[in-house]
Amino acid sequence: MELARTLLAVVDEGTFDAAAAVLHVTPSAVSQRIKALEQRTGRVLLTRSKPVRVTESGEVVVRFARQLVRLEHDTWSELGMTDDGEPVRLPIAVNSDSLSTWFLPALTRVPLRICFELHREDQDHTVALLREGRVMAAVTSSPEPVAGCSVRRLGSLRYVPVASPAFVARWLPAGTPLRQSLPDAPVVVFDRNDDLQDEFVRSLTGGRGAGRWRHHLPALDAFLEAVVAGMGWGMLGIQAAEPLERSGALVNLAPGRPIDSPLYWQQWKLDSPALAAVAEAVAATAAEQLA
């Protein structure tokens, strides 16, 4: 268990020095433990960069180590043998739109004492954190389970294409089909993994994506402010877009043509009461709030 905990500390903290501070040992002791684990497995588990990177073999061992630590804690809890007062810690990957709308209310429904460590990532890429062993569960767009994980459908986030009235007047002239004007108009995207805007334009044009004039704003508040300010058009979740449409701050560019992004809950196949409680709370809230 000592080696497993040391590996997780290095992965979670990012450096040997930071892991040593958390474990209350010297960096040399951390290094020796990682070397011992690598010798035992016969594999290089970490790339010694800053922050450290987990190798493909390391991903397997990290997943095992995190499961082992979780099972140990749950076992002692069921036997009434834990008196350290430490709450359960659950790392979860979730996309920004879910995090800003329905996901946090789901966590408030969990009855157990749990410390949540949320990793924000695009829904198309949260499974990578599962695969690396950095998280125990994820909200993802992938219906294909990661090895060792179960999957259940949650529902869909509905997105609509919007822009400010001034932007529409300048870039999307009346009388010009949207499929002709929109591909060349400035667009706001969350980051380089955000494909929603391109997906919508492809649905209009039959192949061509959004144009090259792109603003990358990887913060939901900044993304929203940029669209309202007229920097570009963008795809907004309907929960955020509808109030702004009613106020006149934004215009729906294509009423009746939303994009539904399906979401799934993937988690390790682990007999953990804490993980099961979170899964049920997430599924119940998603059933109420997602399309």
CATH number assigned to the domain comprising residue 278: 3.40.190.290
Does residue 253 share a domain with residue 242?
yes
Neighbours of 24 (CB within 10 A): 7
The percent of residues above 70 in pLDDT, for the chain, comes to: 95
Tell me the residue range of the domain where 140 lies. Answer: 87-291
pLDDT at 81: 47
Q: Is residue 80 very low, low, confident or very high in pLDDT (cuts 50, 70, 90)?
A: low
Rounded CA separation 248/242 (Å):
10
User: 155: which 2 tokens?
Assistant: 């529902």
Taking all residues of the chain, what is their mean pLDDT, rounded to a whole number? 89
Rounded CA separation 49/51 (Å):
5
Does residue 239 share a domain with residue 160?
yes
Does residue 92 share a domain with residue 160?
yes
| CB half-sphere exposure, 66, CA atoms < 13 A | 30
Q: Are 252 and 163 in contact (CB under 8 A)?
A: no
pLDDT at 219: 86
Question: Which of 42, 67, 85 is the C-terminal boundary of a domain?
Answer: 85
Does residue 245 share a domain with residue 113?
yes
pTM, two decimal places: 0.71
Does residue 73 share a domain with residue 17?
yes
Q: Are 95 and 142 in contact (CB under 8 A)?
A: no
Whether 11 shows a pLDDT value over 70: the answer reads yes
pLDDT in tens, 28-52: 989 999 999 888 888 889 988 888 9
pLDDT in tens, 102-117: 999 999 999 777 889 9
| Domain count of the fold of the chain | 2
Identify which has the larger pLDDT, 207 or 234. Answer: 234
Whether 79 shows a pLDDT value over 60: the answer reads no
